[in-house]
Structure 1
Amino acid sequence: MSNSIENTLVLCDLDNLLLNAEGSLPQLHRDVLQLFASRGGKLTIYSQRSPKVVRSLLGGVRLSAPALVCGGVLAYNFAEGTGTALCSFAGMEESVLRVLPGVPGVGIALQMKNGSTRVLRMSESLEAHLRQEWTTFVLSNAADVRGEDVLRILFYQDNKQVPLTALLEKALGEATVTLRAERMGPDVLALLPGSVSGSAMVQAICSPAGYSAEQLTVLADCTQMAELVHLAGNSVVPADAPAELRLAARQTTLTDHDAGAAAELLYGMVRSAETSA
């Protein structure tokens, strides 16, 4: 099997490896991505952000396969403007969506199958995240939302001491058995209808583009991508990646996540392609 640049699909962590501290794509990374594509490189991305935000961040950068957005629960094809949901809250309107706890200082946002964001309850931290990530949203009522259209429920806490997990367990009762809570940051908790396997994610991005898992290189810097790191034919993490990722990955870059780890890998692939040409 050839491991040339043309026969490799790179899945890159957008949020942690391509964006700067201000949440935008710096010109250096934009130039490297354009160089990578001009030499036949194939790229797609993984992001916690919605498709609309990802598209605005990437600008003219074209992807070669569906992107994994909304934390990997939506495989979105930007060329066609369509997405494939890898999970949903179908049938959970009464058991989950209608009984979400209304806690002062806790905002609630829904990431939808069509790529939009709906806000059920605003908080200061939610407003700050929406502004920082340039996310447009629609104020909604849970009674007007269909579970099959909801991918994730995000809770944003103004007060990090609020026992949110315990409050959710009390409000949702037996429904919590099938749900999965994932802490994305000190003030953000994601609630999913269940686990989405890494195999399903790999299939969703590789098959439409004609690649196998062995032809996939994962460049990761978040533990949510750990299973993808294990499943890919090749995996690379920055020098300062979490220990879990460094132990699982096949390669570690010389540079840290904010010092050009993504550029190091992509430019290295371009150099290798030029040397072997």
Structure 2
Amino acid sequence: MLTLGQLIESLRTERSLSQSELAAEICFRSTLQQIEADRMVPCEILTERLAKRLAIPVEELLTARRKQMAATAKLLLIKAFLEAKDHKQAGNLLASCDGSSDATGLLPRHQQIELRLYRADHLMLSGSVADAIDLYVSILTRIDSLHDANPDEREFVPQIYYRLGKAYLSTQDHAEALTSFTKAYRLSKNYPALLLLTGEIAYHLGWMWRNHGLPSGASAYLKEADEIFSKMIGFESPVVPVAAADDTDWPDLEDIEYH
């Protein structure tokens, strides 16, 4: 099953049209490039104009657009339920994707990777940590095997290493946790959009260095986390007062209250 972008590209190629010819007086060529790469979903008006230029029934492309948007909406719902820690609802939606080609076949490759990532997150939330770790690792292996991996797919890598770090931390495997957090921290620096993630990783690295009796190693990470949280949230970050406490049981990031 083709995604909307793949369908448009296939129809264009069949008609021996270049991207410039198809886009002429309809949209920018760069816009069509984004659509065919499934990095953008065209609005209804643009979809209709593309269908007319391709000489196919307008409803054919509109139907493909609706199905792809529905599949994307399901993905967003899964993410929302996972963030709310509602593993039951997330699990139901994930299960509904298993036997539905419309739910997964219409997703572009980077969203299919995202869906697998949410499956691993659901395993973590359900307490199946070992299975989650195996799936995280397999996703990393899959991305690494893609010679044509795009930026959307590469951007998952530091996020997955961060998740792996937390998973290993929950099993008390501090060596693997430290390795995963360090990789996540280094790779996240390549993606400005992941600035908040960099702060979260820095927080965990600071936590680990401090709890291992190396406050000097923790200070730089905690300072960076403090600066990022303050910048991103717009309020004074609580990281420094938390780090200055004598106790060694730090709260999870989601448990910290911002004032």
TM-score with structure 1 setting the length:
0.26
Scaled by the length of structure 2, the TM-score of the pair is: 0.27
